[in-house]
Amino acid sequence: MDPVLAISRPYRNRTLIAAAVTLMCVTTSAQVKTKAPAEGSSSAAERGIGLASKGRCREALPILKKARAEITNRDLKYDVLMSTARCAMGLEQTETAVRTLLELNRSFAKDPEVLYLTTHYYSELALKASHDLASVAPSSAQAQQLEAEAFESQGEWDKAVTQYQRILEQNPQRHGIHYRLGRLFLTKTPPNSEDAKREFEEELKIDPNSAASEFLLGEIARQAGQWGEAIPRFERAIKLDEGFVEAYLALGISMNAAGKFADAVTPLENYVKMLPDDPAGHYQLATAYARTGRKQDAQREMTLQQETAAKSPRTSPQQ
Amino acid sequence: MRRRSAQGHPFSRRRFLQLLGAAGIGGGIWAPSLFSAAGAVASTAAFEEISATASGIAWTHVSGRSPMAHLPETVGAGCAFVDYDNDGWMDIYLVNSGPCDFYEPSPPLRNALYHNNRDGTFTDVTQKAGVPGNAYGMGVAAGDYDGDGFPDLYITQYPYSTLYHNNGDGTFTDVTAKAGVAAAGWATSAVWFDYDNDGRLDLFVCRFVDYSKAKLKFCGDLITGERHYCIPSIYDAMPCWLFHNNGDGTFTDVSKASGITQSRAKAWGVVAADLNNDGRMDLYVTNDTVPNFLFANRGKGRFEEIGILAGVGVSSFGKARSGMGVDAADYDQDGWIDLFEANVDQEMYSLYHNDKDEVFSDVSNPNGIGVATRLMSGWGLKFLDYDNDGDLDLLLCNGHPDDTVEKRIEGVKFREPMLLFRNAGKGFQNVSQESGAAFSKPLAARGLAIGDFDNDGAVDLLITQNNGAPILLRNLAGRDNHWLGVRLVGTKSNIDAVGAKITYQAGDLLRHKFKVGGGSYLSSHDPRMVLGLGKRTKIDWLEVGWPQPSGKKERITDLPIDRYITIVEGEGKWK
């Protein structure tokens, strides 16, 4: 079977997608009734919403598009945009649908219904793109990579490994594949850090600028307590990507663990600037300060550690 | 500065943590075979299991597992090696569940005291002794609080605890009310130690969350209504108890005056040891979902909690873990007592090296402990020299607290095998795989007590299981080397000599051992100290550093080997 089609098999039936959108439209009609605009308003917008709620999207959409710019009432604007988005999705007017969803997300950022609709539609777009990729280049490296990533997301580790290896057989120099293989080996239960290490090293031969590979090689070393190897790996990761925030923390942790407390201060100070809400940075920085005689600074960071940790208490056993 | 990572693979915090954890368990590092090759220790089993038929220990723990998933059901219970009749042979005490507001066992359950018959078998003497427990049992701490020469038993329970005074005639009397140590609430581990150096054993009792049937919360599947055990973060923390021994059979609750109540706990484990070598016993308390405590004893009856700044309060990521089992020992012989903490799966256990000046470093990764415990949840644990080579090894008992975990988390098991790490002088090596079948047996382990029940100098193990039978393991490895067993009896210092230090020289072997209070989880240990000599056939001298208020040092020579001796403070000789 074509690899990309295999990924999206459950969603291939366009009828099903259309039915889902129709269902969403029907759901909307019920919701629209509860969010009816103020009495006395007889705008075109209301008429558009009414048509949309009856599934008459071809008539509704031009009215809604025209009306939306003039609406000031927030509730009415919400209903107009939602109706517009749903109708555009049903009519496969992708540009209108995406623009409307973007506006909804700007104006009603935390609305669950907006987020739900957005998730569905973006998923549909992703599936459509995968279909297109499957039809135009079914044996391309991109298609194979997409399939491998799909296997990965489903926890089908062995299938994903086979797929990545197939890509490398066809194109041994392709960037990112060894890295993904390495990450896969770390994700397996139990993880396989030896194979992961080999893959990250291979990635670096192909792409010496792979900061992520340097980082994970550093992590493997850090977990084994090999600070002498971990520290230069993290330093290189930062040099390659100065915005690689976790590398600063990992470097600071490794420096502290190696007893290089003074050297740990700078990366950890950078880290807490970038991620001030993470107790890890404050804790490690407090340790570095305390061990270098900066008691007051240590106390300040310890207070911040406690404050930030309190903001994110564990709520599930494996959090 | 931009916040991103390379190659368009942003690392979410969660993803990062997953990778950090996962990275350590790679086959090459994790695979037991590699440790085995490095270990190169005895190829025969180090421990063998004594069947219930052989030992006569027919008692079984019953948790009372209910659909309501009350938290105490999954965490008990403890055990003890205790020579209650002073005949020189370690007896066994086992704690069971019992009646409380959420549980009415039918038929009734009871704790068990087994008398050691000196032939590898035991006889249940609970009824005669009068130590059945009287609530939902958790743990046990043995200590001679009144200095009459017979060990007493403090049984931690929910919703109140019990002190059994040893009458010296094979019976005990419940003196809880008179002593004033009922500790109303959910008590877990407890430890006898002398915090104010007055020569009497005081009592520290860990308290877990604010819990009762009425306060039960729902954790589980909202659709099906099926419950699983809650993570303790949803319950309120409560302060632990510290009871001062008044010397007249009564105690004074000094929890507040000592500063203990300033720290709200969800405490499972405790060990008492002088961690800063100032002559005062400190406390290390492991907490679940709140930072661990290091109560530094500042004298004059006051403790200062310094866990986080000391580096033993939270993980290296600055977050509280699920601290459970705990112990303390100077594993690297630098004169400063180190710490060990077990946590729940994904958190890894921590070996904390004492860097002096009240700071510690987590050295579990270079010792292979972090990676080996990645998926484990640890309860009973203890430093012990199982092979009598003079170096302190490490034994870890494991088992996930939630019996539904296998449905939820890949790779994590409810029943998990024990782990044995051998101290090879320059670090620990995981020798579990070559140490016998006992180390591949999945257990719902909870308590661990160490003690030499057959008096052969090889320290044996008693492990309790949640809702299951206890496991008695005879140590075979320790028999291959020479040893000297020492029972210390304090006169000016506390009678159990908790806090003492023994230093000894045997040829090229110079070692010391601290006698800490408590350690492990809900359990109490053989009070005798076994000094491993390796193949050396002579011990040159032994020096006892008695705890305060004595502080005296006594050097003793002309010592025997391969037997137990008693040293009484001030007598300057052994007997």
Percent of residues, chain A, with pLDDT higher than 70: 85
| Residues of chain A contacting B346 with CB distance shorter than 8 Å | 318
| Any domain includes B174 | yes
| Any domain includes B15 | no
Closest CA–CA distance from residue A284 to any residue of chain B (Å): 7
Query: Is B489 found in the same domain as B478?
Result: no
**Spatial contact of B289 and B207, defined as CB atoms under 8 Å apart:** no
| A185:B20 CB<8 A | no
For chain B, the domain total comes to: 2
Identify which has the larger pLDDT, B29 or A76. Answer: A76
List, in order, residues 6 or more apart from B135 with CB less than 8 Å away: B98, B99, B100, B157, B158, B159, B160, B161, B162
* Distance from C-alpha of B358 to C-alpha of B335, rounded to nearest angstrom: 13
Please report the pLDDT score of residue B555 as a whole number: 97
* Distance from C-alpha of A179 to C-alpha of A207, rounded to nearest angstrom: 10
The DSSP secondary-structure symbol of A316 reads S
Please report the pLDDT score of residue B13 as a whole number: 38
Query: Is B411 found in the same domain as B290?
Result: yes
Identify which has the larger pLDDT, A123 or A69. Answer: A123
Q: Is A164 helix (H, G, I), strand (E, B) or coil?
A: helix
Residue A311: pLDDT over 90? no
Residue B147, judged by CB atoms within 10 A of its CB (0-12, 13-18, 19+), counts as middle
Please report the pLDDT score of residue A139 as a whole number: 81
Closest by CA position to B209, among listed B143, B138, B271: B138
Query: What backbone phi and psi angles, to 5 degrees, belong to B52?
Result: -60, -35
| A257:B317 CB<8 A | no
Nearest chain B alpha carbon to A175: B7
Owner of token pair 């019976």:
B171
What is the residue type of A117? Answer: L
**Spatial contact of B478 and B533, defined as CB atoms under 8 Å apart:** no
Query: Is B282 found in the same domain as B153?
Result: yes
Q: Is B228 helix (H, G, I), strand (E, B) or coil?
A: coil
Least CB–CB distance from A194: residue in B3, B28, B346: B28
**Spatial contact of A161 and A149, defined as CB atoms under 8 Å apart:** no
Nearest chain A alpha carbon to B13: A246
List, in order, residues 6 or more apart from A113 with CB less than 8 Å away: A31, A82
Residue A225: pLDDT over 90? no
Taking the CA atoms of B381, B383, B386 and B387 in sequence, report the sign of the dihedral they define. Answer: positive
Mean pLDDT over A77-81 rounds to 93
* Distance from C-alpha of B326 to C-alpha of B191, rounded to nearest angstrom: 12
Q: Name beta bridge partners: B530.
A: B485
The answer to whether residue B3 neighbours chain A at the CB level (below 8 Å) is yes
| A282:B28 CB<8 A | no
Query: Is B403 found in the same domain as B523?
Result: no
| B365:A224 CB<8 A | yes
| B24:A176 CB<8 A | no
| B23:A186 CB<8 A | yes
Q: How many A×B Cβ pairs under 8 Å?
A: 185
Using DSSP bridges, classify how beta strands B564-568 and B482-489 pair: parallel, antiparallel or unpaired. Answer: parallel
Q: Give me the torsion for CA of B213, B219, B220, B226, rounded to 10°.
A: 10
Q: Which residues of chain B have pLDDT under 50?
A: 1-42
| pTM score of the predicted model | 0.81
Mean pLDDT over A41-59 rounds to 86
Residue A216: pLDDT over 60? yes
Please report the pLDDT score of residue A314 as a whole number: 56
Q: How far is CA B336 from CA B328, B331, B353, B357, in A?
A: 10, 9, 9, 10
Q: Where a domain ends, among B456, B484, B512? A: B484
Query: Is B508 found in the same domain as B360?
Result: no
| Any domain includes B440 | yes
Please report the pLDDT score of residue A208 as a whole number: 96
- Structural domain containing residue B54: 47-484
| Residues of chain A contacting B227 with CB distance shorter than 8 Å | none
The answer to whether residue B356 neighbours chain A at the CB level (below 8 Å) is no
Query: Is B480 found in the same domain as B452?
Result: yes
Owner of token pair 């990450």:
A183
| Residues of chain B contacting A301 with CB distance shorter than 8 Å | none
Cis bond before residue A10 (omega within 30° of 0): no
Identify which has the larger pLDDT, B8 or A167. Answer: A167
| Any domain includes B12 | no
pLDDT band for A271, please (50, 70, 90 cuts).
very high
Query: Is B496 found in the same domain as B355?
Result: no
| Residues of chain B contacting A198 with CB distance shorter than 8 Å | none
Average pLDDT value for chain A: 84
Report CA Rg, chain B: 22
| Any domain includes B40 | no
| Residues of chain A contacting B28 with CB distance shorter than 8 Å | 192-194, 197
Owner of token pair 């973006």:
A122
Q: In this structure, what CATH number is given to the domain that contains residue B191? A: 2.130.10.10
Residue A80: pLDDT over 70? yes
Over residues A15-40, the pLDDT tens digits come to: 333 334 433 443 443 344 344 444 33
* Distance from C-alpha of A26 to C-alpha of A52, rounded to nearest angstrom: 9
Q: Name beta bridge partners: B350.
A: B341
Least CB–CB distance from A186: residue in B3, B19, B405: B19
**Spatial contact of B90 and B472, defined as CB atoms under 8 Å apart:** no
| B309:A290 CB<8 A | yes
Question: What is the DSSP track for A241-257?
Answer: -TT-HHHHHHHHHHHHH
The answer to whether residue B5 neighbours chain A at the CB level (below 8 Å) is yes
**Spatial contact of B392 and B413, defined as CB atoms under 8 Å apart:** no
Query: Is B474 found in the same domain as B494?
Result: no
| B27:A195 CB<8 A | yes
Nearest chain B alpha carbon to A155: B410
Q: Where a domain ends, among B443, B463, B484? A: B484
| Any domain includes B8 | no
Chain A contacts in chain B segment 286-315 (CB below 8 A): 289, 308-309, 311, 314
Please report the pLDDT score of residue A138 as a whole number: 83
Please report the pLDDT score of residue A3 as a whole number: 33
Least CB–CB distance from B6: residue in A212, A273, A298: A212
pLDDT band for A4, please (50, 70, 90 cuts).
very low
Q: Name beta bridge partners: B166.
A: B172
Residue A42, judged by CB atoms within 10 A of its CB (0-12, 13-18, 19+), counts as exposed
Q: Where a domain ends, among B461, B484, B507? A: B484
Over residues A103-139, the pLDDT tens digits come to: 999 999 889 899 999 999 999 898 888 888 888 888 8
Least CB–CB distance from B25: residue in A191, A246, A250: A191
| B1:A270 CB<8 A | yes
Chain A contacts in chain B segment 477-516 (CB below 8 A): none
| ipTM above 0.90 for this complex | no
Query: Is B413 found in the same domain as B538?
Result: no
Query: Is B549 found in the same domain as B459?
Result: no
**Spatial contact of B445 and B379, defined as CB atoms under 8 Å apart:** yes
Chain-centre distance for alpha carbon A92? 25
Q: Is A259 left (phi over 0), alpha (psi -120 to 50) or beta?
A: left
Closest CA–CA distance from residue A51 to any residue of chain B (Å): 37
The answer to whether residue B233 neighbours chain A at the CB level (below 8 Å) is yes
Using DSSP bridges, classify how beta strands B162-166 and B152-158 pair: parallel, antiparallel or unpaired. Answer: antiparallel
| Any domain includes B37 | no
* Distance from C-alpha of A213 to C-alpha of B233, rounded to nearest angstrom: 36
Please report the pLDDT score of residue B318 as a whole number: 93
Chain A contacts in chain B segment 244-263 (CB below 8 A): none
Query: Is B396 found in the same domain as B538?
Result: no
Query: Is B429 found in the same domain as B309?
Result: yes
| Any domain includes B2 | no
Token code pair at residue B304: 């200062």
Alpha helix segments (H runs only) across A44-192: 44-53, 57-68, 74-90, 94-107, 112-136, 141-153, 157-170, 177-187
